[in-house]
Amino acid sequence: MQTVKQRLKQALSQRQKRYITDPSRVPAAVLVPIYYKQGQYYILFTKRTEKVKEHKGEISFPGGAWQEGDKTLLDTALRECAEEIGLMADEVEVLGELDDMLTAVSNYIVTPFVGLIPWPHQFKVDGEEVDELIEVPVRALLDKGCLEQKTEIIEGVEDTLLFYHYQGRVIWGATAQILNQFLDIFARIIE
């Protein structure tokens, strides 16, 4: 019988990934870090500081903009993890990619990677970009009462916005879109 890790890796490799190319946007990458703890899977999020230029105080995945020197967007995601939370590239088992996402305000094309990380781990929050780490059980995020959807008109286009609520915190924006796609895949492999 396949493990959850094997099924997730297979599901990610067999799907048709949606790529977005737009030279007017800044390429960026994030890691969706998952780990197994006390009999269940968790996702690690970061809460951004008020010092950052964009997305102040928001809950996000570790990651950021591509920089010269990054050979690939995966390199970008892993470099940012090391800088922001002290998670080194060799500690991440990359399982696959999710669809590229656009950010409405900050003009990024975000490429999300899913990675299995060790637990327990001695994270080192940098304090400049990341204020704190937030761990959320996947089971809680799959609960129907956790997700709120709102339809709004943004720049003349109707769009459905997603909001995940967990213990008084709200995950929204591109992070919620990425999370939603991950949870759809995860829910299918554990059925």
Q: What is the pTM of this model?
A: 0.94
- Tell me the C-alpha distance between 160 and 75, whole Å: 31
For residue range 20-68, list pLDDT tens digits in order: 999 999 999 999 999 999 999 999 999 998 887 777 789 999 999 999 9
What pLDDT score was predicted for residue 54?
75
The CA radius of gyration of the chain, in Å to the nearest whole number, is 16
Count of alpha carbons within 13 angstroms of residue 143, beta-carbon side: 12
**Residue 167 phi, psi dihedral angles, 5° rounding:** 45, 50
Q: What does the block give as tokens for 86?
A: 């002290």
Give the mean pLDDT of 117-143.
Answer: 95
- Tell me the C-alpha distance between 136 and 46, whole Å: 11
Domains of the chain: 4-138+174-190 (3.90.79.10)
What pLDDT score was predicted for residue 1?
60
How many residues in total does the chain contain?
191
What average pLDDT is seen over the chain?
93
118: confidence class by pLDDT, cuts 50, 70, 90: very high
Using alpha carbons, select from 126, 94, 125, 90 the residue that is nearest to residue 30.
94
